Chain A
């Protein structure tokens, strides 16, 4: 089956810097993408989503960019804080998928240094 992959397994940034986490997806037909954050010992939590008819979507301190040409997603976190330290997963959902099944990547571990 197709899967979502991540370019870098770990990312270390200084507090206050901006972070960029990348994700490559395989299914060019996928039309919905989600970024999740997983803190240590907890379940993943929704951060932001984007549909394939958009190139960019902004949330509070986070921005997701979608490049359908190269099947690439990125998550940008502005002014990274220690509380942003976590594992970040992207997930893709192809159209006409029963129950909105998601395919998750392996995750990028973000470490924020004070």
Chain B
């Protein structure tokens, strides 16, 4: 099993450009998450999806949109990139459904720079 995969690994954008970060998991997990991690900081939740067909805002959703394409895939879109969105983006998944709690499995991250 590949676990959680993310593409691309690196990306440089100019201010105002758009892009989509892709994430897929092969563990048949119900829940998926997008986080950003700024240098020397912890993880901040952008959006999450408790199950296929549902998405909800996290702590820092402004400037982002998400799509839970199917149970495996959860994409994050930046419609008009800003330098403040320069960060490392992590996708994660977990078995958690409803109000259950389990560990999260993380992808390798996408390092995004916005000039």
Q: In this complex, which of B43, B48, B58 has the most chain A Cβ atoms within 10 angstroms of its Cβ? A: B43
Residues of B within 8 Å of A107, CB to CB, are 41-42
Interface residues on chain A, size class? 20 to 34
Residues of B in contact (CB 8 Å), total 34
B105:A46 contact, CB within 8 angstroms: yes
In the complex where A97-B101, A98-B99, A99-B48 touch, is A43 in contact with B106 (Cβ < 8 A)? Answer: yes
Judged by DSSP, the binding face of A is loop
Kindly state the separation between the CA atoms of A105 and B42 in the bound complex, as whole angstroms: 6
A45:B101 contact, CB within 8 angstroms: no
The chain A residue sitting closest to B31, CB to CB, is A99
Binding site for A on B (CB under 8 A): 4, 30-31, 33, 40-45, 48-51, 56, 58-59, 90, 92, 94, 96-109
